[in-house]
Amino acid sequence: MLGTVLSLGDVIGLADGMLFLCAFINVLGLYLLFPVVRRELRNHVADLRSGRLTPVREEEKVG
């Protein structure tokens, strides 16, 4: 709808700005979730090393 009123350069600029905003929100989410992911990864690796979890064998992997 905006393409009928705005020039092509304005539409491309708007799309570029929206993509930047999406990328910024994703990077912000990564920054905020990093401590949680690090803690969960450490717990997972500790469980693997202690034997509470067993690694998936090659023949059981899907894909």
pLDDT at 2: 64
- Residues 16-59 have pLDDT tens digits of 999 999 999 999 999 999 999 999 999 999 999 998 988 888 88
Q: Compute the distance between CA of residue 13 and CA of residue 2 in angstroms, rounded to an integer.
A: 12
Please tell me the predicted confidence (pLDDT) of residue 49. Answer: 92
pLDDT given for residue 3 in this prediction: 65
3-state class of 54 per DSSP?
coil
CA dihedral 10, 15, 21, 26 (to 10 degrees): -170
Of 30, 31, 2, residue with least CA distance to 18:
2
Cβ neighbours for 2, distance < 8 A, ≥ 6 positions apart: 10, 11, 14
**Global pTM exceeds 0.75:** no
Q: Are 16 and 9 in contact (CB under 8 A)?
A: no
Residue 63: pLDDT band with limits 50, 70, 90:
confident
